[in-house]
Amino acid sequence: MKLPSYILLLCILIASREERLFALDEVYGEEVPITNKDYQSPDTTEGVEEGAEEIRIRKDEFDEIVGQLQGMKALLENMKQDYDTRFKEMQEKITVLDKENTELKKAHLEPVVAIHELPLPKTENNLTVAEVNSKTQRVSETNEEEKPIAFLTDTDSSQPSSATSVSQNSETIDTMVSPTDSTVAGQKVGTNGRSPQQLQINTTATEQSENQGQWSPAQPLTVWSMGKNYMNISFDGLFSAGGSTAQDLEKLETGGHDPNQRGFTVQNLETVFEGAIDPYFKGQANIIFQIDKDGESFLEVEEAYLTSMSLPLNLQAKAGTFFTEFGRLNQFHPHAWDFADQPLVNGRFLSPDGLRNPGARLSWLAPTSNYTELFFTVQDSQGETVRSFRNEDALFGREAVDTRVRNMGDMLYVPRIATSFDLTDEQTILLGASAAFGPNSTGTDENTLIYGLDMFWKWKSKYAEAGFPFVTWQTEVMGRRFEAGEDINASLSDEIMDNWGTYSQITWGFKKRWVAGLRGDYVDGEKYAEDPLSYERWRLSPNLTFYPSEFSKIRLQYNYDDILENDSTEHSVFLQFEFLLGSHGAHKF
């Protein structure tokens, strides 16, 4: 800056002269005649002190000072013009950055995000949905004390980002949590009042924010990214080795991903593609590879769907092919189960591969202080993944009738309501009720209704470290009303079949990396049943799971099966192991 130097020079010049700039009787050092009109006697002059000295300045000095002042004026004008230009450019940059920041939040936070899932935990400064919506754009459902175990989680969630995760340190096990849940109960919220079903961050998210530029094995493998779009990829391998007194394990295990033979079973090889499509939608695809007991390999698209991220009124839409939101367990992939096989009632009433089909779902998050959400799903009612409906293999001894979709009455409809709240600071409970109704394949006008109640309770000590210790209790009860049509060839008349089944399981995380579990199953028998898959039976299954790290697990499980229909018992032992490449997003609570 030249301005201070000019001012300082001027002050030094004036002080050194000790003269006034403008003399009354001399200009530029020349004598000026004084007229009578201008003359005043010293005695009559006001404002002039006696003994005051006149200040004289030469013309060349005056011109120099004037030139310096004019230069200062030009400099100030240039500075002002430069300031105005820079200020305008800064305002434009701020506007652009604000716009990009808003778009990035929309694009990144729910793929985190996850998610549209369940409740946030109760905290010391607990907020209602309305309060949280006014303070945050989207919050993940992951509890900061319960960091998700990567191999137990499924991506309904997010771009590395939904909030409340703890970064992984050198001791990876310190970031591991209870495998029974990857997100926490409470109230979920987001851009439209919901959290991604994925409320959207896991361990990977915080690592990327805290260690930008440094890659970690826990991070998703981003294979493609452009602007606000991105795609992550992860791979999960699930295997088991088993032995049983039953010669054919397929007659005991009702699940398509259960251990199905003596020796080794490739239960599930799953590749997950997930990411943000744009600020309005996120997408996910689960590609499954399996090898059956005969050594035959097959590939299938288990799920492929998009989920909305910006609908108003706390609404969320989902479309594609996906697991139906019925009950508690049906929505989880095999690697997220607490046991090596699925409950008997799920395989018998829903399907060996779970209830899923192409369709669309609309959900609404109620604006209440505790988590409450309504779901309504419409899907195709035909295929092997909807066993109790328009299945090619008709039930109860009847042949399947080929029926086409004649109207909307031939679709599968699934309503569900779920709510969660905290019992105490250490206890949370989730309650749900579901129903599924649609046509079945035993006749042109025969229908099936499946209904169920589910409950999940969790206790976790407020002094827990990395999520341990904890105790969970999960129970589902299902009933089925099946209208069986007339089959003349089999000499069977119209009749209504009512069946029910249930399971209840407890898991106990008694020590970091160690979880013990116990499950009991019961299903009543189906009429005209021909094998144990449909007989009345019950099962007891204790297990023990060890997590060497958040990328692997080893599980030992014993099954005691009591087949009441033919008064027989079977014993089975499974050793299950799993590894993960990349990272799945957090599951819902």
Report the mean per-residue pLDDT for the chain.
Answer: 77
pLDDT band, very low/low/confident/very high, at 250 (cuts 50, 70, 90): confident
Half-sphere exposure for 488 (CA within 13 Å, toward CB): 0
What are the b/e assignments for 384-416, b being 16+ CB within 10 Å? ebbbbbbbeebbbbbeebebeeeeeebbbbbeb
The confidence score (pLDDT) of residue 45 equals 43
Is residue 307 within 8 Å of residue 316, measured between CB atoms? yes
The confidence score (pLDDT) of residue 447 equals 94
In tens, the pLDDT along 524-582 reads 988 887 777 788 999 999 999 999 998 999 999 999 999 988 889 999 999 999 999 98
- Checking if the pLDDT of 148 tops 60, the result is no
The domain limits of the chain are 1-34+55-108, 317-576
List Cβ neighbours of 339 (8 Å cut-off, separation of 6 or more).
505, 517, 519, 541, 543, 557
> What DSSP string describes 232-266?
EEEEEEEEEEEEESSS-GGGT---TTS--SSEEEE
Task: Please give the residue that has the higher pLDDT: either 429 or 116.
Answer: 429
**Residue in the block written with tokens 């087949």:** 563
Distances 322 to 130, 287, 353, 567 between C-alpha atoms, Å: 30, 12, 12, 38
- Checking if the pLDDT of 5 tops 70, the result is no
Two structure tokens written together for 465 = 């470290």
Is residue 148 within 8 Å of residue 142, measured between CB atoms? yes
State how far the Cα of 196 lies from the Cα of 182, in Å rounded to an integer: 13
Name beta bridge partners: 243.
573
Is residue 282 within 8 Å of residue 276, measured between CB atoms? yes
State how far the Cα of 98 lies from the Cα of 150, in Å rounded to an integer: 33
**Lowest model confidence (mean pLDDT) among 210-224, 225-239, 472-486:** 210-224
Overall average pLDDT of the 5-22 stretch: 56
pLDDT band, very low/low/confident/very high, at 313 (cuts 50, 70, 90): very high
The confidence score (pLDDT) of residue 191 equals 39
In tens, the pLDDT along 518-537 reads 999 999 988 887 777 788 99
- Checking if the pLDDT of 72 tops 60, the result is yes
In tens, the pLDDT along 364-386 reads 999 999 999 999 999 999 999 99
Query: What's the DSSP call for residue 181?
Result: -
Q: Is 57 helix (H, G, I), strand (E, B) or coil?
A: coil
- Checking if the pLDDT of 176 tops 80, the result is no
The confidence score (pLDDT) of residue 207 equals 43
pTM listed for this prediction? 0.65
> Percentage of the chain surpassing pLDDT 70?
68
State how far the Cα of 204 lies from the Cα of 549, in Å rounded to an integer: 14
The confidence score (pLDDT) of residue 363 equals 97
Q: Is it true that the peptide bond before 148 is cis, omega within 30 degrees of 0?
A: no
Overall average pLDDT of the 397-408 stretch: 82
> Percentage of the chain surpassing pLDDT 90?
45
Distances 496 to 358, 447, 587 between C-alpha atoms, Å: 28, 10, 38
Print the SS3 string covering 102-155.
HHHHHHHCCCCCCEECCCCCCCCCCCCHHHHHHHCCCCCCCCCCCCCCHHHCCC
Distance of CA 73 to the CA centre of its chain: 61
Amino acid found at 315: L
Name beta bridge partners: 166.
none
Helical axes 3-17 vs 59-108, angle rounded to 10°: 150
List Cβ neighbours of 117 (8 Å cut-off, separation of 6 or more).
141, 156, 157, 183, 188, 195, 196, 197, 198, 199, 200, 586, 587, 588, 589
The confidence score (pLDDT) of residue 547 equals 96
Is residue 117 within 8 Å of residue 138, measured between CB atoms? no
The confidence score (pLDDT) of residue 8 equals 63
State how far the Cα of 344 lies from the Cα of 504, in Å rounded to an integer: 11
- Tallying the residues shown for the chain, one arrives at 589
Query: What's the DSSP call for residue 390?
Result: B
Exposed/middle/buried for 370, CB within 10 Å: 0-12, 13-18, 19+? middle
Distances 306 to 113, 195, 287, 289, 564 between C-alpha atoms, Å: 14, 15, 15, 22, 44
**Kind and range of the H or E element at 222?**
strand 221-226
The confidence score (pLDDT) of residue 357 equals 96
| 317-576, CATH topology level | Porin (2.40.160)
Two structure tokens written together for 97 = 């950055």
The confidence score (pLDDT) of residue 490 equals 81
The confidence score (pLDDT) of residue 70 equals 86
State how far the Cα of 45 lies from the Cα of 38, in Å rounded to an integer: 11
State how far the Cα of 571 lies from the Cα of 519, in Å rounded to an integer: 15
- Checking if the pLDDT of 281 tops 70, the result is yes
